[in-house]
Every structure is written in structure tokens, then in C-alpha cells.
Amino acid sequence: GNSVTQMEGPVTLSEEAFLTINCTYTATGYPSLFWYVQYPGEGLQLLLKATKADDKGSNKGFEATYRKETTSFHLEKGSVQVSDSAVYFCALSGQGGSEKLVFGKGTKLTVNP
Amino acid sequence: NAGVTQTPKFRVLKTGQSMTLLCAQDMNHEYMYWYRQDPGMGLRLIHYSVGEGTTAKGEVPDGYNVSRLKKQNFLLGLESAAPSQTSVYFCASYPGPTTKRDTQYFGPGTRLTVL
């Protein structure tokens, strides 16, 4: 079945550091890939997504590229801020849309001033 | 729009007690979901619904029941709570695959503790 593996946390960085959170997936067909973010005390919200190979999703300075050859969707940001402290989830869905999402275990990011 | 709301926000139960969690959405979405979030486990799907009057099992359905009598509401029931059901529960809704906003929308969560 479909599955998502993302790097174990927690990750602690200083402000303005470079961020990478690794995500790899196993899926049949051509899934869509997502990054969701969960700020403290809140529900998840979509950060970015990519629906086909070589697509790059981007939002709020975060980027991730759909790499079919390496089955990866790594999240990157060039300069993190304290306000980026949150839990980040990689997820995939089957072909067609977001009806059934499979989530990774989440990576907690803490950014210190 | 309020989006997706969940009631209650917090609850403490004793083993064997029952309760119902309410999820409401005002976006006219067809699909609704219940997830549980446990440390180190990510989100796991409990039950979901693809329309009013329909329900289906997800990855971890045992010990839970659901109902979708109205399109805007999705109820999650625990008939006899167990400590293993201590978790944070999230509801989500989704408009459908043919819409532009192809994402699930999440509620703020309900933190449930079973003693």
C-alpha cells in the first residue's frame, strides 16, 4: 500500500538557518504530494503541493519538488524564522485528488532567535 | 465562514464511559473525515464519509462509530472508552476532486483523555 516516510525530529535551528526536511514515499501510480503544517494548538493546514513529476510547490518561502526517480518530496526553506516553529507533515494521495491522504509521522521544527 | 469546527475542545472520560464528538463544516463539502493523532504516529484515518448518509472505515476504525445524518455534520462516537483511545482527534472536510481547492480542511482538534 501507499506509505510516507519523513525524517525523524525534532529539528532545532537558529533563525535564518537553512531548512531541509526529507520525505520519501511508496505508491502505486502517480500520487499527488503535499506538505501540511500544524502550528501549536491548531489543526493542519496545507503548506504546498505538487501533482505530477518535476512539479515544484512553493508557499511562504518553502519549496518542495516532486522527484519521481527518487520517490522524494523534500521540504526546503532558505532562511527560517521563529514563526516557522511547527510540526510539518508530508502526505500523499492517490490519483485524482485529496480524497484519501496518507500522512508521514510528522517532524517538529523549533526555530530559536 | 467558520470553516471546520469541533466540539468539545477538551474532554476527560473514565474507562467504559461513552461520548460523542461533533464536527461541523459550513463550506458545503461532500467529504468528511475523522483522524486521530498520536505522538510519533502522524495522523491515522478512523472513519470517513463521501456524502450525507454514507460512512466508511478507515485505517483504525475499531472502538468507534460514526454518523452523517446531515451534510454539514459528522459525529464520532465512543461507546465504551478505553485508555488506548486517549488521543487528539481531528476532523477534516474536502470539497471533492473536481474543485480547484484540492485540499482537506482541518478543524482545531479535540484532546481526549481516558483514565
What is the C-alpha separation between A12 and A15, in angstroms, rounded? 10
**What value does the mean pLDDT take over residues A69-82?**
97
Q: What angle do CA B41, A59, B101 make, to 5 degrees?
A: 80
**What value does the mean pLDDT take over residues A86-110?**
86
A56-75 residue pLDDT tens: 999 999 999 999 999 999 99
Question: Which residue is listed with cell 526553506?
Answer: A77
Assess whether pLDDT exceeds 80 at residue B100: no
Assess whether pLDDT exceeds 70 at residue A96: no
Chain A interface disruption, residue of B49, B98, B102, B110, most A CBs within 10 A: B102
C-alpha to C-alpha distances, B64 to A100, B30, B34, B85, B105, nearest whole angstrom: 19, 21, 10, 9, 22
Chain A interface disruption, residue of B38, B43, B48, B49, most A CBs within 10 A: B43
What is the C-alpha separation between A62 and B24, in angstroms, rounded? 31
Verify whether the Cβ–Cβ distance A43 to B96 is below 8 Å.
Answer: no
Length of chain A: 113
Q: What angle do CA B76, B79, B85 make, to 5 degrees?
A: 70
Length of chain B: 115
B21-76 residue pLDDT tens: 999 999 999 999 999 999 888 899 999 999 999 999 998 999 999 999 999 999 99
Half-sphere exposure of B39 (CA within 13 A, CB side): 4
Assess whether pLDDT exceeds 70 at residue A97: no
Assess whether pLDDT exceeds 80 at residue B1: no
**Cβ under 8 Å to B: A residues 30-89:** 32, 34, 41-46, 49, 51, 89
DSSP letter assigned to residue B9 = S
CB pairs under 8 A between A and B: 53
Question: Which residue is listed with cell 522524494?
Answer: A72
